[in-house]
Amino acid sequence: MSRALIIVRAGETFADLRTRIGDFHDWIAEGLGLTCDVSHVDAREAPDLPEPASVAGVVVTGSHAMVSDRAPWSEQLGQWLLRCVEARVPVLGICFGHQLLAHAIGGVVGYRADGRELGTIMVHQLEVGQSDPLFQHMPQVFPAHVVHEQSVLALPPGAVRLAWSSQEPCQAFRFGDCAWGVQFHPEFSATAIQAYQARLAPGAYPEDAPDTPEAARLLRLFAEYVLRRGNAG
């Protein structure tokens, strides 16, 4: 596959955590496990994102920014994601990326009525997930790390809800046959979620947290999907 899979950076983690274990795009690249080209671009700094036809797939990172703020760079990225979806380029949006993807294709994003969801939660698949190209290879119920204040409050018309948690109705959705959003963080390690818990809710969580290999598997499944499509093309 000659085209690269692009990790689009929509933000960065805390500076001290970044120094210790890297940033969102580093964790995603490791989780993808690809042997083909993987590159990344910062959407906040890039004047022009690549033409959708020139990329094999797209992963959009999380961010400490809010989709509802409608920052110019965020809106520009959303319009580019819409073009990718229309061109049937495989897309995976994570947390902020999940919300921005939903916003770009006609969904509603806003603050959660119950406040921040933080920690390690159980993600439950809906039955429709068993025919999804990615989620059919995931457990019916699996633990995942989450940290978010906004959610997809209404899915875009035509989107398929794939998973939920006890505090979040939409933990995952698919639009068309090759665009996914996941509210949980498949790239987060135990160290990463511990750092967020310590920063955002000191003393409220145990000092240790579990790794979530079942959630992390989603990144490898997406990478394999992108590779299959590239080889088929």
Max Cα–Cα distance, the chain, nearest Å: 52
**CA dist., res. 139 & res. 197, Å (int):** 26
Report yes or no: 120 and 193 within 8 Å, Cβ to Cβ: yes
**CA dist., res. 55 & res. 198, Å (int):** 38
**Residue 187 among the catalytic residues:** yes
Strand segments (E) across 4-136: 4-9, 38-42, 55-60, 91-94, 108-111, 117-125
Query: Active site residue: 103, 145, 170, 187, which one?
Result: 187
**CA dist., res. 191 & res. 111, Å (int):** 26
Helix (H, G, I), strand (E, B) or coil at 159: coil
Query: Active site residue: 84, 95, 170, 178, which one?
Result: 95
The residue assigned the tokens 């890039």 is 46
Euclidean distance between the first and the last CA atom of the chain, given in angstroms as a whole number: 9
**CA dist., res. 232 & res. 30, Å (int):** 24
**Residue 185 among the catalytic residues:** yes
Tokens of 25: 């795009």
Query: Active site residue: 40, 98, 145, 185, which one?
Result: 185
Tokens of 28: 């995603």
Residue spans of alpha helices (H) in 22-71: 24-32
Which residues are catalytically annotated? 95, 185, 187
